[in-house]
Amino acid sequence: MKPYQEHLKSILSFGETVSPTRKPVFRSSAIFPVIDTVEFSTQIVFMGYWLRKRNIPEVTVLISLRNEQGVVILRKSLIVDKVKAYKIELPVLLAELEWDKEQFTGSLELEVFSTRDMVFPYPAFVINFMSKYGITAVHTTGRIYNDVEDMQGNVQYKVPESGFDIHSGPGSDPFFSFVNGPFDNSGKVIRYEIIDEQQQIVGGQILPKSLLPYQTCFIYLRDHIDIDRVLKGGKGTVRLWLDYEGFFTRIIAGNFNDKKAVSITHSFYDSSSVNDKNAYQDNLSGQLHDSYVFIPVYIDDDFYTQVIYYPIYSLSAYTMSLVFFDQEGNKLKELKEWKKFGKSDNVFFSVDINALALEFFTEAERSNIRGLMISNDWDGKNIPTRIKYGLNIGLKNRIYDLPTNICFAPEIANPKITQKPGTFKWAPLLNSFESEIIITNCGSYKDYSRAASLSIDFFRELDDKVLHVDVTIAAYSQYVINAEKMENVKSFLGGGTGWVTINSDNPFVNAWYFDFNRATGVVAGDHSF
């Protein structure tokens, strides 16, 4: 793990001083475990954002398909010289190889090359595992380091990976998956700890049969532990020690159900053992929230919303407050200092928005809840710099209960960002079942009231034509893009995937994207780039 302040400098975050020894990024890469079976297929979607965000005229994407043992079986290159939607489909690649088996497990590495600085060494790709029951999605996870300097910069702290849900009960099959780096890591064990909702911990070890260079690894927890006995039919989370050489530890994790439907997310650093000065920062302003996040709320028509706190933060006491809003940004109710945590209260628990709505709102009032701001107060000191939550948007009373489990970070008090003139965000319209993007406007200031002007462009696979919309949204409000209900958007996409870019004069604009299968209960989702 790289210290947070070093991370901000490396990505040229607004207001940060750039090191005179910073190396430009001319290669940006992602590597994904992929599957193709009777039930599932895999696709990678992205847009030519480098051209718009960095003014780079073109980049080249090198596509390497490897089998499960890490051997390259196909290579192709793609020149990206248009700002449009792109899709790489595993079944199409396998057809080129005349693959005739019912199942394929392997990896796709996508290396982006440019003659100009791309800044980020990890590109904005989205992997989708697809079945007739629904689609699930997560952004770039693993990657192969560019060089030794890149690797050394990312291993200053060696910490476990965690920050995702695992399910128990009939049909559930929690797993994690990754692609090994360029070194043979065979013979090295994976240590794990499973934590349930009562904070009970069960630990053990897993020894993969082999871990050859670039080998794909799917680990199913049921093969190693009685998950139903440990979690008692409920959910939990897990810590994983992946002490591998030359390996970027961010992994895909999630839950299969009946081997027919799946939900995926990515892991995050477990910083609970990191307590030096680099693990914290102070809020010197007093006008800003120590940390906050604004999420869309779905609680009507059998939807539920949960925010998951994981036991992965550098130890520090704090108080949590909640503020509910309607879609126009009107405050409905504030629960100030709703929950308090001592320094040692680093626990796994859920903020159940449906339960809070039942407790604090009348039936008529509940129908207006569309947004929630969660703020944490550390009295301005010892704010952990590495914080991640999980956002579960799901559906009850369906065939499957497979919510989003989005891994996302709150905003930490940063006066530099308040001086930023605007922001640029982008997100996909997966357009598989019912796709939606929620654009939000919520700022760091405790007395926030700033509106946001949005210049929104839609892109499609067919060509580089653009559909444009201008919108202004008030503080704490949301703008909803639904690819099924908005006829102009539906017609423009023509059945393919799409992307949305958001230029705003307000630095506090964010977005989330979802794809709902209302019939089966499978919900895909992630935060915008």
Query: What pLDDT, on a 0 to 100 scale, did the predictor assign at position 7?
Result: 54
Residue 10 lies inside a defined structural domain of this protein: no
Considering the domain architecture, whether residues 53 and 114 belong to the same structural domain is answered as yes
Q: Whole-angstrom Cα distance, residue 297 to residue 406?
A: 14
Residue 4 lies inside a defined structural domain of this protein: no
Q: Whole-angstrom Cα distance, residue 408 to residue 294?
A: 11
Find the Cα–Cα–Cα–Cα dihedral 200, 388, 476, 492, rounded to 10°: -110
Residue 261: which residues within 8 A CB-CB, separation 6 or more? 131, 133, 134, 399, 400, 402, 520, 522
Residue 510 lies inside a defined structural domain of this protein: yes
Considering the domain architecture, whether residues 213 and 293 belong to the same structural domain is answered as no
Residue 355: which residues within 8 A CB-CB, separation 6 or more? none
Q: Whole-angstrom Cα distance, residue 250 to residue 150?
A: 15
Residue 381: which residues within 8 A CB-CB, separation 6 or more? 280, 282, 283
> Residue 150: phi, psi to the nearest 5?
-60, -45
Considering the domain architecture, whether residues 95 and 205 belong to the same structural domain is answered as no
Considering the domain architecture, whether residues 304 and 439 belong to the same structural domain is answered as yes
Considering the domain architecture, whether residues 301 and 417 belong to the same structural domain is answered as yes
Q: SS3 for 487?
A: helix
Considering the domain architecture, whether residues 136 and 188 belong to the same structural domain is answered as no
Q: Whole-angstrom Cα distance, residue 454 to residue 423?
A: 10
Q: Whole-angstrom Cα distance, residue 358 to residue 393?
A: 17
CA angle 48, 54, 57 (to 5 degrees): 60
Considering the domain architecture, whether residues 167 and 146 belong to the same structural domain is answered as no
Question: What helix, strand, coil percent values describe the chain, rounded to 5?
Answer: 10, 45, 45
Distances 358 to 367, 394, 499 between C-alpha atoms, Å: 11, 17, 36
Q: Whole-angstrom Cα distance, residue 16 to residue 405?
A: 31
The residue among 108, 127, 153 that closes a domain is 153
End-to-end Cα distance, the chain? 21
Give the CB-side neighbour count of residue 429, counting CA atoms within 13 A. Answer: 33
Residue 217: which residues within 8 A CB-CB, separation 6 or more? 33, 177, 178, 179, 180, 208, 211
Query: What pLDDT, on a 0 to 100 scale, did the predictor assign at position 10?
Result: 60
Instruction: At 167, list the tokens.
Output: 């399910």
- Find, among 216, 219, 215, 217, the residue nearest to 205 by Cα: 219
Considering the domain architecture, whether residues 229 and 82 belong to the same structural domain is answered as no
Considering the domain architecture, whether residues 385 and 350 belong to the same structural domain is answered as yes
- Find, among 376, 373, 412, the residue nearest to 284 by Cα: 412
Query: What pLDDT, on a 0 to 100 scale, did the predictor assign at position 495?
Result: 95
Contact 297, 370 (CB under 8 A): yes
- What CATH number is given to the structural domain containing 249? 2.60.290
Is 218 exposed, middle or buried (CB count within 10 Å of its CB: 0-12, 13-18, 19+)? middle
Query: What pLDDT, on a 0 to 100 scale, did the predictor assign at position 8?
Result: 57
Residue 2 lies inside a defined structural domain of this protein: no
The residue among 107, 127, 153 that closes a domain is 153
Q: Whole-angstrom Cα distance, residue 312 to residue 223?
A: 25
Query: What pLDDT, on a 0 to 100 scale, did the predictor assign at position 188?
Result: 96
Q: Whole-angstrom Cα distance, residue 390 to residue 395?
A: 16
E strands present in 156-210: 161-162, 165-167, 172-179, 190-196, 201-206
Residue 391: which residues within 8 A CB-CB, separation 6 or more? 295, 305, 306, 307, 308, 404, 405, 406, 408, 512, 525
Contact 330, 474 (CB under 8 A): no
Considering the domain architecture, whether residues 97 and 244 belong to the same structural domain is answered as no
- Find, among 514, 253, 479, the residue nearest to 393 by Cα: 514
CA angle 104, 68, 33 (to 5 degrees): 80
DSSP structure class, residue 225: S
Residue 318 lies inside a defined structural domain of this protein: yes
Question: pTM of the prediction?
Answer: 0.94
Query: What pLDDT, on a 0 to 100 scale, did the predictor assign at position 379?
Result: 77
The residue among 269, 302, 336 that closes a domain is 269
Contact 54, 131 (CB under 8 A): no
| Bridge-based pairing state of the strands 72-80 and 261-266 | unpaired
Query: What pLDDT, on a 0 to 100 scale, did the predictor assign at position 326?
Result: 97
Per-residue pLDDT 10s for the chain (529 aa) are 656 565 555 665 555 566 777 899 999 999 999 999 999 999 999 999 999 999 999 999 999 999 999 999 999 999 999 999 999 999 999 999 998 888 999 999 999 999 999 999 999 999 999 999 999 999 999 999 998 888 887 777 789 999 999 999 999 999 999 999 999 999 999 999 999 999 999 999 999 999 999 999 999 999 999 999 999 999 999 999 999 999 999 999 999 999 999 999 999 999 989 888 888 888 878 899 999 999 999 999 999 999 999 999 898 899 999 999 999 999 999 999 999 999 888 899 999 999 999 999 999 999 999 999 999 998 777 888 888 999 999 999 999 999 999 999 999 888 888 889 999 999 999 999 999 999 999 999 999 999 999 999 999 999 999 999 999 999 999 999 999 999 999 999 999 999 999 999 999 999 999 999 999 999 999 999 9
Domain around 28: 20-153
Considering the domain architecture, whether residues 453 and 504 belong to the same structural domain is answered as yes
- Find, among 507, 378, 391, the residue nearest to 448 by Cα: 507
DSSP structure class, residue 155: -
Residue 209: which residues within 8 A CB-CB, separation 6 or more? none
What's the total number of domains in the chain? Answer: 3
Residue 7 lies inside a defined structural domain of this protein: no
Which residue(s) pair with 319 in the sheet?
Answer: 340, 377
Residue 8 lies inside a defined structural domain of this protein: no
Query: What pLDDT, on a 0 to 100 scale, did the predictor assign at position 167?
Result: 97
Residue 12 lies inside a defined structural domain of this protein: no
The string of pLDDT tens digits covering residues 301-318 is 999 999 999 999 898 899
Q: What's the sign of the alpha-carbon dihedral 109, 114, 119, 124? A: negative
Considering the domain architecture, whether residues 77 and 110 belong to the same structural domain is answered as yes
- Find, among 447, 426, 444, the residue nearest to 47 by Cα: 426
Name residue, tokens 């369906």: 398
Q: Whole-angstrom Cα distance, residue 85 to residue 257?
A: 30
